[in-house]
């Protein structure tokens, strides 16, 4: 009989391998979608169904983090206990950076009249599309995955959720099991759930570790690429890079787009050199001779605190 129930947990190395494979493939819109989907499944410790159901008005930006709030999930069908999940950029590892993944997805999506669901189509069909892609890429790269200790028949969409939870519990000095349970939406039990509530910093710690930032290095406190507004707001000609921008997104998501654009400009060299087939290179943002150069010097980053822009890592303040 099988020694385990369900699909195997994916290791962090295997997750990085799949993320890199999806990002650096001869990119079409399917692989752009798959890359963002698998990165969000991992970083949010979420079921595929929950990720497929994300709306744009579930995403906002707060301080140094992108915040995603699920309307409901399996353990909270009414949505009464929905807590924001903090998602952090990883500027040093573009392949697993959730902010860059979302940026590439949004900027290469093409003209749309309305943005409601993050992933177009019903949640069930979106999940099925990702599952089929995962099966195919695992079959095509079976030998490479085998060297990482991955048996492709044991990999499924649930492998990401199992994998990141196992990864977080193994990080020395990392988040507590309670913080991981709360981020994953798992029940603590009828008694514990009444007395153990989410504290400040627990989800943030989970979010940073899940994005691949090492707790053993000062880069754990890195800041996301952002525009330097210290001398006045940096104005962006959105209508030139995102058709119908003014009416396309809800107002709560528009600040997120500023951070996404900053991330793409920050990673411009990486995108041009490592992703030569990516659809984003065919967009006005990259085909224009003046747009990126005019904003390149206005993008800042840093670790813990950027004294010029005034941006701080919120974990420092907890």
Alpha helix (H) residue ranges in the chain: 12-24, 29-44, 48-52, 98-107, 123-140, 142-147, 158-170, 177-184, 192-195, 202-210, 238-241, 245-248, 254-266, 268-274, 284-287, 291-296, 314-317
Tens of pLDDT, residue by residue over 195-248, are 555 567 789 999 999 999 998 888 899 999 999 887 778 889 898 889 889 899
- Between CA 232 and CA 94 the distance in angstroms is 29
List the one residue out of 283, 254, 226 whose CA is nearest residue 107. 283
Token pair in block for residue 206: 């989970």
Tens of pLDDT, residue by residue over 248-278, are 999 999 999 999 999 999 999 999 999 999 9
List domains and CATH numbers for the chain.
12-317 (1.10.443)
Cβ 42 vs Cβ 167: under 8 Å: no
Token pair in block for residue 269: 């060299």
Partners of 117 in beta bridges: 55
pTM for this model (two decimals): 0.89
């Amino acid at each position: 009989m099988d020694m385990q129930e369900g699909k195997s947990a994916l290791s962090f190395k295997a997750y990085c391998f799949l993320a890199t494979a999806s990002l650096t493939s001869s990119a079409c819109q399917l692989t752009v979608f798959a890359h963002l989907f698998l990165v969000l499944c991992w970083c949010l410790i979420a079921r595929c169904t929950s990720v497929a159901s994300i709306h744009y008005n579930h995403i906002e930006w707060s301080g140094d983090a992108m915040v995603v709030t699920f309307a409901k999930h399996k353990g909270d069908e009414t949505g009464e206990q929905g807590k924001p999940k903090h998602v952090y950029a990883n500027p040093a590892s573009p392949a697993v950076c959730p902010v860059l993944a979302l940026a590439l997805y949004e900027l290469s999506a093409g003209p749309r009249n309305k943005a409601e669901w993050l992933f177009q189509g019903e949640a069930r069909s979106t999940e099925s599309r990702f599952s089929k892609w995962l099966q195919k890429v695992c079959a095509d790269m079976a030998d490479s995955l085998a060297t990482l200790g991955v048996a492709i028949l044991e990999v499924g969409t649930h492998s990401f959720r199992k994998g990141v939870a196992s990864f977080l519990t193994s990080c020395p000095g990392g988040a507590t099991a309670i913080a991981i349970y709360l981020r994953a939406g798992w029940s603590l039990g009828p008694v514990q759930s009444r007395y153990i509530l989410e504290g400040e910093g627990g989800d943030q710690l989970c979010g940073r570790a899940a994005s691949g930032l090492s707790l053993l290095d000062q880069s754990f406190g890195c800041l996301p690429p952002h525009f330097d507004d210290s001398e006045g707001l940096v104005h962006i000609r959105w209508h030139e890079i995102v058709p119908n921008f003014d009416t396309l997104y809800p107002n709560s998501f528009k600040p997120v787009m500023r951070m996404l654009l900053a991330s793409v400009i920050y990673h411009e060299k990486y995108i041009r050199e490592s992703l030569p087939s990516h659809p984003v290179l065919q967009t006005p943002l990259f085909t224009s001779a003046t747009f990126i150069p005019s904003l390149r010097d206005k993008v800042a980053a840093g670790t813990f605190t950027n004294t010029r822009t005034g941006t701080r890592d919120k974990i420092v303040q907890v």
